[in-house]
Amino acid sequence: MSFKALLVERDEEGNTSASVQELEDSRLPDGDVVVAVEYSTVNYKDGLCVGPGGGLVRTYPHVPGIDFAGTVESSTDSRYKAGDKVVLTGWRVGEVWWGGYSQKASVKADWLVPLPDGLTTQQAMAVGTAGITAMLAVMALEKHGLKPGQGPVLVTGAAGGVGSVATAILSNLGHEVAAVTGRPETADYLKELGATTIVAREELSETVKKPLEAETWAGCVDAVGGDMLARVLGQLKYGASAASIGLAGGAKLPATVIPFLLRGVNLLGIDSVMQPYENRLAAWQKLSESLPMDKLEGMIQPATLAELPELGARILKGQVKGRVVVDVNA
Ligand code: NDP
């Protein structure tokens, strides 16, 4: 028995190369559940792992793909049986464990969730890690008091994966959405997802000069970090929160504590990788209720395993729009 996968190999000089190969089933890692993968996707971390890994990959040869959806082929865990539809995001699968860029995956049962009602495996991967992270961010903002009608909610890195899903969810929940993008040509796409205002990246990328600016945003889902997040903190309305999910613009936070002390704003950290099972189920449930499927369809760019090396390089340059959905059997 064999399966096709994108295998990343490293030579003695440390150079990596990725190619689609036919592998024997015996090479799969030792998990509880073997899944016939149907779809995977391309996240920023996948871009790193398809290339030299950026410190995320521990051993080579490696199969990347930090998320997937498919059908259980066999299971030694009583929670899953052959034929069950399942989804996996996080748990460092695709980084330290062989992932979803493959027709087969063998994983721990604890890492899976049942495919949410009302979603196909393709739609679940259009959501993927980016979408579940966007949902966790919106849920955290709501938990800290965000309600529709309080003013515009800012989404940074809006044309990317997390940003696109966050824009669509927030808009559907009744929020006014201001979408920050460095790609003006994506304005129509972002408006179709529900953004009411487009903010040019340059307007927010200058380093903080004044710790407090006009109170503008009722909340923020931030995929960018760096100077932009530092600026946004000083522009949040009194008591509002920013959910920090990513570092597309940088890992540093050159901010002052003044917005916390004088405006009582909150900075909320969002991690999707180690979220407990119950939180994942809650996020998937809320996603299937609050993400309109026509908007999700509008974000999808289809891809095959062979296209992944090029797509991985492009996502690292911020050149991928919306959600790439990889049909591993195409
Ligand atoms: P994408 O590449 O799809 O989106 C990132 C977007 O950020 C780009 O599309 C671009 O949007 C914007 N951007 C890129 N470079 C810069 C820059 N130098 N300055 C300002 N904006 C920039 O990636 P994802 O949406 O998949 O992931 C976004 C971030 O979230 C990544 O850092 C990723 O590692 C992180 N992440 C974290 C997770 C967690 O659990 N916390 C889970 C998933 C992702 P535009 O063109 O519109 O400006």
324 CA → ligand 1 middle, Å = 14
Q: For residue 233, is pLDDT > 90?
A: yes
- The answer to whether residues 268 and 144 touch, using CB atoms and an 8 Å cutoff, is yes
pLDDT for 30 equals: 96
246 CA → ligand 1 middle, Å = 6
Backbone angles phi, psi at 324, to 5 degrees: -85, 125
Q: Of ligand 1's atoms, which has the minimum distance to the CA of residue 190?
A: 47
pTM of the model: 0.96
Count Cβ atoms within 10 A of the Cβ of residue 26 and give its class: 0-12 exposed, 13-18 middle, 19 or more buried.
exposed
Q: For residue 53, is pLDDT > 90?
A: no
**Average pLDDT for residues 79-89, to the nearest whole number?**
98
Q: Pairing state of beta strands 300-303 and 323-327? A: parallel
- Is 304 in a helix, a strand, or coil? coil
Question: Cα 165–166–172 angle (5° rounding)?
Answer: 90
1 CA → ligand 1 middle, Å = 38
Q: Which of 45, 154, 162 to mutate to test the pocket of ligand 1 (most atoms within 8 A of CB)?
A: 162
How large a percentage of the chain has pLDDT more than 70?
100
pLDDT for 10 equals: 95
pLDDT for 189 equals: 96
pLDDT for 225 equals: 98
Residue nearest to atom 9 of ligand 1 (CA): 160
Task: Please state the separation of Cα 111 from the chain's center in Å.
Answer: 17
Long-range contacts of 20-25 (CB under 8 A, 24+ apart): 20/305, 20/306, 23/102, 25/1, 25/104
Q: Which of 132, 245, 315 to mutate to test the pocket of ligand 1 (most atoms within 8 A of CB)?
A: 245
**Average pLDDT for residues 296-307, to the nearest whole number?**
96
Q: How confident is the model at residue 208 (pLDDT cuts 50, 70, 90)?
A: confident
How large a percentage of the chain has pLDDT more than 90?
96
pLDDT for 145 equals: 97
113 CA → ligand 1 middle, Å = 25
- The answer to whether residues 201 and 176 touch, using CB atoms and an 8 Å cutoff, is no
Over residues 164-203, the pLDDT tens digits come to: 999 999 999 999 999 999 999 999 999 999 999 999 999 9
pLDDT for 55 equals: 85
Q: How confident is the model at residue 207 (pLDDT cuts 50, 70, 90)?
A: confident
Indicate the average pLDDT of the chain.
96
Calpha distance 180→201 (Å, rounded): 6
Q: How confident is the model at residue 54 (pLDDT cuts 50, 70, 90)?
A: confident
- The answer to whether residues 173 and 221 touch, using CB atoms and an 8 Å cutoff, is no
Residue nearest to atom 23 of ligand 1 (CA): 44
pLDDT for 188 equals: 97
